[in-house]
Amino acid sequence: MSKAFDVAVIGAGPGGYVAAIRCGQLGLSTVCIDEWKNPRTGKPSLGGTCLNVGCIPSKALLESSENYERALHKFADHGVKVQGVSMDVAKMIARKDKIVDVSTGGITMLFKKNKVSYLHGRGSFVSTGDAYTLEVKDGGKSETITAKHVIVATGSVPRNLPFAPVDNELILDNAGALDLKEIPKRLGVIGAGVIGLEMGSVWRRLGSEVTILEALPEFLMAADQQVAKEALRLFTKEQGLAIHTGVNIGGVKTTKKFLTIEYTDGKGLAQKLEVDKLIVAVGRQANTQGLGADKVGLRIDDRGRIEADGHCRTNLRNVYAVGDVVRGPMLAHKASEEGVMVAEIIAGQAGHVNLDTVPWIIYTSPEIAWVGKTEQELKAAGVQYKAGQFPFLANGRARALGETAGFVKILADAGTDRILGMHMIGPYVSEMIAEAVVAMEFAASAEDIARIVHAHPALGEVVHEAALGVDKRTLHI
């Protein structure tokens, strides 16, 4: 007899494991099926891309590399004298691995606490009926279960370039980029998106000469272009990242030890770039491989994603899909909120996720964060708006930190003053963006922010001043 559950969740990334926990909290008998194995230990590892080879390990390396750079170049300003600073890459990677192990292990405990069953293996649809029958395959072993509701949270995988096949020796995807054993002298990156910039920053800080090749004509086209311009200036002129936009890559030739990338640059001129390692970071694609979608008629769109409506309902009754495998930004917090929403809908409650207020963060230094509309989007839509802006240079806390690059910009409706977007580049803006999200969710006006007391001295005062700036009444510039 197959075990029967109220809910089966396929995938234990931030979409799936959070959905499973919330289902458990709501009293639904729940199983979560996940196939991820840690290549280092060979053991099952929960948490999906985010915890194993994404958000968490990348932030660990960003922190380590930033500390190294601080010790090398910033401590002296504070009068802190250090000598013989060097980087132990193996130790940095081991620290990152430990953080991954603690984080993924934590989910096992959360499953126990919330009475979520866990099956390791690949889950796939077998048939529908009163309930769905799923097969869970783990190596040679196989078992079937049934569930009244299914939440598909199978995430995404890196997009490949046919002329640059990833071997994680010379040509790396995100997993390889997080696991280098030594610092490459010359590192190439294809794609100046989020992974390219974060991973490029890590290895540049540790001493690699990093060159990033981007197909699009402008840098960071999804971000507000004023922020993108400032970021490009800081990353290239001050930090020494080489970023070439508008390139067309013709091919990659490899020898045993290095690679040559042939491309035409933004002016159409033929170029060659020789590097010791190459990271391919050209986006990710929804992962529906081996899910058996065809067996039950689960509809996939023309971009390979599971079709889902605003409440993550698929075309099949009682089947939902959340996270990277459906439309919307490929972000962990978006996946998790969709997981919570779906669990609550299954339990008969109301669930809701507002994709218009999902914050974006790029963990470079300085960090970049935004929520809502960019200035170019408002212009394209013909929306009349006012802008207020304030630089970190005029903020006491930023000066004390020695991190004065960047600014906060608030865009508000010209007629109603309602905030339409907030854009930040500067220190710890990953933490500051939450104020912007709260403000937008509560339909705040710029004046609302301007009238709220912001503690002093704090980086948050830059948001306050930017809000005052919308009404042209900044106090400190």
- CB 332 → ligand FAD: shortest distance, Å? 4
- CB 325 → ligand FAD: shortest distance, Å? 6
- CB 17 → ligand FAD: shortest distance, Å? 7
Is the bond leading into 359 cis (omega within 30 degrees of zero)? no
Is 218 or 471 the residue whose CB approaches ligand NAD more closely? Answer: 218
To 10 degrees, what angle do helices 16-25 and 89-113 make? Answer: 30
Cβ neighbours, 10 Å, residue 243: 20
User: Do 398 and 429 form a contact (C-beta atoms < 8 A)?
Assistant: no
- CB 46 → ligand NAD: shortest distance, Å? 19
The catalytically annotated residue of 73, 352, 456, 476 is 456
- Count Cα atoms within 13 angstroms, Cβ side, for 134: 33
Question: Of ligand NAD, ligand FAD, none, which one sits near residue 215, judging by CB under 5 to 8 A according to partner kind?
Answer: ligand NAD
Question: Of ligand NAD, ligand FAD, none, which one sits near residue 323, judging by CB under 5 to 8 A according to partner kind?
Answer: ligand FAD
- Distance, in Å, from the CA atom of 250 to the CA atom of 365, rounded to the nearest integer, reads 31
Is 24 or 427 the residue whose CB approaches ligand NAD more closely? Answer: 427
- Distance, in Å, from the CA atom of 108 to the CA atom of 102, rounded to the nearest integer, reads 10
133: three-class secondary structure by DSSP: strand
Is 18 or 362 the residue whose CB approaches ligand NAD more closely? Answer: 362
Question: Of ligand FAD, ligand NAD, none, which one sits near residue 216, judging by CB under 5 to 8 A according to partner kind?
Answer: ligand NAD
- CB 252 → ligand NAD: shortest distance, Å? 11
User: Do 205 and 65 form a contact (C-beta atoms < 8 A)?
Assistant: yes
Question: Of ligand FAD, ligand NAD, none, which one sits near residue 282, judging by CB under 5 to 8 A according to partner kind?
Answer: ligand NAD
Is 138 or 218 the residue whose CB approaches ligand NAD more closely? Answer: 218
Q: What does the angle CA 342 – CA 194 – CA 323 come to, to the nearest 5 degrees?
A: 10
Is 189 or 446 the residue whose CB approaches ligand NAD more closely? Answer: 189
- Distance, in Å, from the CA atom of 123 to the CA atom of 296, rounded to the nearest integer, reads 14
- Count Cα atoms within 13 angstroms, Cβ side, for 415: 2
In 291-309, which positions are buried (b, 16+ CB within 10 angstroms) versus exposed (e)? bbbeebebebeeeebbbbe
311 is catalytic: no
Question: Of ligand NAD, ligand FAD, none, which one sits near residue 122, judging by CB under 5 to 8 A according to partner kind?
Answer: ligand FAD
What's the token pair of residue 103? 């984080």
Q: For residue 211, what are the CA distances in angstroms to 168, 214, 273, 307? A: 18, 10, 9, 37
Question: Of ligand NAD, ligand FAD, none, which one sits near residue 10, judging by CB under 5 to 8 A according to partner kind?
Answer: ligand FAD
- CB 175 → ligand FAD: shortest distance, Å? 8
Is 28 or 291 the residue whose CB approaches ligand FAD more closely? Answer: 291
- CB 164 → ligand NAD: shortest distance, Å? 9
394: Cβ contacts below 8 Å, ≥ 6 apart: 465, 476, 477
Is 192 or 286 the residue whose CB approaches ligand NAD more closely? Answer: 192
Which positions touch ligand FAD (CB under 6 A)?
10-16, 33-36, 48-50, 54-55, 58, 122-124, 153-156, 174, 195, 287, 290-291, 323-325, 330-333, 335
Question: Of ligand NAD, ligand FAD, none, which one sits near residue 14, judging by CB under 5 to 8 A according to partner kind?
Answer: ligand FAD
Which residue number places its CB atom closest to ligand NAD? 193
Which positions touch ligand NAD (CB under 6 A)?
161, 190-196, 198, 213-216, 249, 281-284, 329-331, 361-363
User: Do 392 and 403 form a contact (C-beta atoms < 8 A)?
Assistant: yes
What's the token pair of residue 73? 């170049």
- Distance, in Å, from the CA atom of 435 to the CA atom of 448, rounded to the nearest integer, reads 12
**Catalytic residue positions, numbered:** 456
